[in-house]
Amino acid sequence: MKYGIDIGHNAPPDTGARGIRFEDEMTMAVGTRVINKLRSLGHTVVSCLPRSASSVTNSLWQRCNVANLNRVDVFVSIHFNAFNRTVNGTEVFAASETGEKIAAPVLREIVALGFNNRGVKNGAHLYVIRNTSSPAILVECCFCDSKRDMDLFDPEKMANAIVKGLTGQVPKPEPPPAVVRPSAEVLELQRTLNRLRIPDRNGQRLAEDGFAGSATTSATQRLQAILGLVTDGVAGDRTWINVRQILAKPILRPNQTSGPAVRYVQYRVGVDIDGIYGPGTLAAVQRFQSQNKLTVDGIIGPQVWAALIG
Ligand SMILES: [Zn+2]
């Protein structure tokens, strides 16, 4: 089925009623869910909410126009009522026999949530029902100025009721949103990358917050490139084994050593990274020692390591 779902109002000057809660906020909460749930059940959905409107009539015209151009099978407009803070309950408008047959189960499902049944009503006077080519209903979910209704209202349950009423299908429960917590492993990685002075792709130090993200990934890739590893941005065992060899601050003598610690030193003193402590690296290390007022002997020992990584 192809549904035209019309999230009521939300297009100033077409704004909804203000009761205990705002109609705009609730039609958005319910309508967005209805759209997602129908799609996850395999239906085609056209959202009829305009981006902007020059007047209320223009807003209503655009909604009908989108539905008509897309030749939807059923048009469903979602609204909330307001009256005198006492009246409460649910009513669904329709203007044809087919419309009434669509309206009745929607009303039944919403009433099953505990709202008072105000019935299926004649909606022939309503612009969006009058001007849509398909069968159309307008759901007044409940009253936004009624404490009873607002205490009962839950956008998820309301959306489920509308979808079940429309399709006869029970919407799949939404997976709970993943709770993102800082990770001790990511925090250790960020601290290590900062200590090794390996910035992200924008040349920035990483935030030490424990949250994995593109900055940490890009710095990890840079580290992996320095170490000659696969640059997948994921700090796995191989990456950590190499890092620990650097953090162990091994004594490196020219022409005698190779490996990840040499590669790291080459990155820091700014020579080509090949992992072999040869003459080019020696000259750069001696320059580094001189600049840092250390003994210029080309041996990377505790003093040089302290200058490099603290
Ligand atoms: Zn309304």
Distance from the alpha carbon of residue 169 to the mean position of ligand 1, in angstroms? 26
Phi-psi category of residue 276: left, alpha or beta, with phi > 0 → left and psi -120 to 50 → alpha: beta
Q: What is the value of pTM for the model shown?
A: 0.59
Q: Are strands 74-81 and 117-122 parallel, antiparallel or unpaired?
A: unpaired
Distance from the alpha carbon of residue 23 to the mean position of ligand 1, in angstroms? 7
pLDDT in tens, 115-173: 999 999 999 999 999 999 999 999 999 999 999 999 999 999 999 999 999 999 998 77
Name 50's Cβ contacts closer than 8 Å, sequence gap at least 6: 11, 59, 62, 63, 66
pLDDT in tens, 215-254: 999 999 999 999 999 899 999 999 999 999 999 999 999 9
Distance from the alpha carbon of residue 79 to the mean position of ligand 1, in angstroms? 4
| CATH of the domain spanning 184-309 | 1.10.101.10
Residue boundaries of the structural domains of the chain:
2-167, 184-309
pLDDT class for 258, splitting at 50, 70, 90? confident
Distance from the alpha carbon of residue 20 to the mean position of ligand 1, in angstroms? 15
Distance from the alpha carbon of residue 157 to the mean position of ligand 1, in angstroms? 19
Distance from the alpha carbon of residue 69 to the mean position of ligand 1, in angstroms? 23
Q: Using DSSP, state whether 108 is helix, strand or coil.
A: helix
Distance from the alpha carbon of residue 171 to the mean position of ligand 1, in angstroms? 25
Distance from the alpha carbon of residue 297 to the mean position of ligand 1, in angstroms? 82
Mean pLDDT, rounded, for 100-116: 98
3-state percent helix, strand, coil for the chain, nearest multiple of 5: 45, 15, 40
pLDDT in tens, 5-55: 999 999 999 999 999 999 999 999 999 999 999 999 999 999 999 999 999
Distance from the alpha carbon of residue 115 to the mean position of ligand 1, in angstroms? 18
Distance from the alpha carbon of residue 27 to the mean position of ligand 1, in angstroms? 8
pLDDT averaged over every residue in the chain: 95
* CATH fold of the domain at 2-167: Aminopeptidase (3.40.630)
Distance from the alpha carbon of residue 104 to the mean position of ligand 1, in angstroms? 20
- Integer Cα distance of 25 and 9 in angstroms: 10
Distance from the alpha carbon of residue 109 to the mean position of ligand 1, in angstroms? 20
Helices 302-309 and 279-291 pack at an angle, to 10 degrees, of 70
